[in-house]
Each structure stands twice: as C-alpha cells, then as structure tokens.
Amino acid sequence: MFRKAKANVATSSAIRAFALAAGLVAATLMAMPPVAFGASRIKDIADFEGVRDNLLVGYGLVVGLNGTGDDLTNAPFTKESLVAMLERLGVNIREQGGTIATVKPKNVAAVMVTGTLPAFSRQGTRIDISVSAMGDAKSLEGGTLLVTPLVGADGEIYAVAQGGLAGVGFTASGGGTNGAQSSVRKGIPTTGKIANGAIVERELPFEMAHLEAVKLSLRNPDLTTANRTAQAINAYLGGNIARSTDPSTVQINVPNDYRGNVVGLLTDIEQLKVEPDQVAKIVIDDATGTIVMGENVRISTVAVAQGQLTVRITETPQVSQPSPFSSTGDTTVVDRTDIQIDEGEGKKLTIVPHGVTLQDLVAGLNALGISPRELIAILQTIKAAGAIQADIEVM
C-alpha cells in the first residue's frame, strides 16, 4: 500500500514537471517573432546607411592601336589631349608662333574611363575599370590606357587607372561578288575592361565603429515592411531599439552591449528574416508583350468579352481557256476573290467574380483564348472601369 502511494506521487510529480516544461516551451514559442513563409533576410531587402559604392569617371588616352584610332580631323579633343600629354612629358610639337604641328597618328583614341569605388576601400587596393571610345575609333584592340585620374561626384581624385585593355571585340568584313558584302562582329570593339586596372589613392572618410545610431534604407519603400523590420529587430534585441521613421527608413539606436561594435550589431541584424509587403502592381512591357502581376492583385465583379471584326480577302487568279479545237475564244486570266468575315463569334463573355486571385484572373482570361497583347488591352480597360485594385505600370 505504501509502495503504491509512493508510485502515484512520483507519477504526479512527473506529470507536473512535463506540464511545466511544455508551458515554458509554449511561452518561448509565443515570445519568438513569427517567421512567415517566403520571408527574406534584412540584408536582401535593405541597405545600411553609409555602406555604399561610389561611382568614378575619368578622361584619358589609349595608345598602341593598329591604325584603328581616332581621326584627329574629326576628333579635335583627341588632338588637344595628345599635345597636352606630350608637353607634360617635355615633348614640344608646336611650331614658331605657337601653332600646333600637323600630326595624324592613327593609333591614339580618346576614351572615357569608369569604375566603382566599393565601400571602405583602403589606399593601395585595386578596382576594375571599363574603357569606352569617345571619337570615331574603329577598335581599341591591343591598346594601352595611359595614366588617367578617376574623380568622384565631389570632383576629388580617388583612384588612378592605367593598363592594357582586355575583352575587346572585333569586326571583320569582306567584299563579295555583285556588290554583296559579308561581315562578322564579336562583342563591341570600341569598349574594353581592365581587371584591377585602377589603384585607390584616397579613402572615403566614414567611421562606423563609434556610431550611436544606424539607419536602414529599404530598397522597396513600404510602410508595412518598415514596421515589420523594426518589430523583428526589437524582438531580437529585446527592447524598443528600432523604429520606422518613414516608408524607407528604420532607425536603430546602438544598444550598450554593442557600443564600439557596430559591425557585430549589423552582422546579427542582417540575418533576421522579414516578410516584405508591397502594393498590388501590374507591370506591362508593351514592346515585348510581357506582363508581370503581383500576388495581391484583386478584381471586382466585372464582365469581360474580347473580340474583333476581321475581314480576310484572298485573291486566287485562274486561267480560262476555250474548248479544244474551238475556233472562237481566247485564253485569259480570270480573278477569283474569296471574302471571309470573322466577327469573333467564337469568343465568349466571361464574368470575373469579386475578389478573385491572380491565378483565377489569368485562368479566366486565358479561357477567352486571347494573346498577351490582347490581355494588356483588357487589363488597361478593367483599370479604366475601376474594377481592378492594383497599379498598372507601363514600361
């Protein structure tokens, strides 16, 4: 009897312990931020303020071309640049009176040099650059870019570029018989790239470690997405740390635990997942007939019919001949005209009910047997009737 009571007490204790553990697990799950299906990482939908690239541009000369450079008569800027470069190197090609001597080299081309300065690039690091001809040069194949300063939007020099061009295309053509010509072109011969062709000479003055507040900038601004991002950050950090200030900005005050370690804070935050939200939109590319619709597109009750009057006229000439051995009649060509009229009788009137989904909308419109271009016209007409709850953007 004692043993049975002792066993019952042990069983009751185990049940209470299990219930307590289950309650703790349930409370933990309820406290965790919900993870929605299709959620994206914050690093994939937002950028951190200050962590950005900067565009660089410069003007320079490419030399060493095989007679495919600029015609200095048609490109005076190339001639002036060539003369100025030679004078800086101590070569004087001016005649008495300051007149520039006649120079007609065919192996020099004026080019624009572009590049991107990554965030936090340090002095001495190298970046890739692109080179594009400005004048009437036929090809930059085999050319070498001379020293070219690259400036930013503020006019300061941030990098210097130089090197041999790679990845330049070519064009080959030949004359055929009877004036016919054939040609082959690969790539664009007037553009090229130089891998690691520029050296960073100036750093951007931005220090992240001692920031007291950090701002996130959403790539697709939206009030709901900004609020969800702030909620996810607050749930992870355990306090009212982040708040959305506008549809595209979320401000984060650096917690005391991350003082002096903003990089660690951003590393933890960018891995959090948020379900982005966007307005219902239909994007139409009228040139190619491409239609892209978001999943939140909804249609009010509307009747849709598509059809058009088509008149098809076919001419079939026939030859009429007299009977054999007949002494009368001539052989002649007689026109035979066939006219067919299609009034779109095979088309049907389809009723689209209220609040249908994207799948139902496409299925209903496809039932009419319409083409993508006809679908564009139908969507625009439904929008004009006020029966579609979405923005239509025509590219």
Output phi, psi for 363, to 5 deg: -65, -40
| Residue in 391, 359, 382, 392 with CA at minimum distance from that of residue 301 | 382
pLDDT tens for 161-220 read 999 998 666 666 665 555 555 666 667 889 999 999 999 999 887 778 788 899 999 999
Radius of gyration of the chain (CA): 36
Q: Which residues pair with 198 in a beta bridge?
A: 127, 161
Alpha helices in the chain (DSSP H): 2-31, 42-45, 76-88, 223-237, 262-269, 358-366, 372-384
List pLDDT tens digits, range 280-315: 888 888 777 778 877 777 777 767 666 654 445 455
The 10 Å Cβ neighbour count of residue 389 is 14
Q: What does the pLDDT look like over 250-275, one tens digit per residue?
A: 999 999 888 888 889 999 999 999 99
Q: How confident is the model at residue 120 (pLDDT cuts 50, 70, 90)?
A: confident
pLDDT-derived band at 7, boundaries 50, 70, 90:
very low
User: In terms of Cα–Cα distance, which of 80, 46, 38, 81 is closest to 61?
Assistant: 81
Q: Which of 49-58, 208-217, 333-342 has the lowest mean pLDDT?
A: 333-342
Burial of 40 (0-12, 13-18, 19+ CB in 10 A): middle
What is the distance between the alpha carbons of residues 168 and 177, in angstroms, rounded to a whole number?
Answer: 30
Neighbours of 364 (CB within 10 A): 16
CB 78 within 8 A of CB 99: no
* Domain spans in the chain, listed from the N-terminal domain onward: 54-169+184-200, 207-274, 281-317+336-394
CB 294 within 8 A of CB 282: yes
Q: Which residues contact 154 (CB under 8 A, 6 or more apart)?
A: none
Consecutive H or E run containing 130:
strand 126-133
Q: Which amino acid is at 110?
A: A
What per-residue confidence (pLDDT) applies to 13? 55
What 3-state DSSP class applies to 46?
strand
- Amino acid letter at 377? A
**350, two tokens:** 């389809």
State the amino acid at position 203 in one-letter form. E
Q: Looking at mean pLDDT, say which of 31-35, 87-91, 266-270, 351-355 comes out highest.
A: 266-270
Taking domain 207-274, whether its CATH number is 3.10.590 is answered by no
**Chain-centre distance of CA 36, in angstroms?**
26
Instruction: Dump strand ranges (E) for 307-359.
Output: 310-315, 318-320, 332-334, 337-342, 349-352
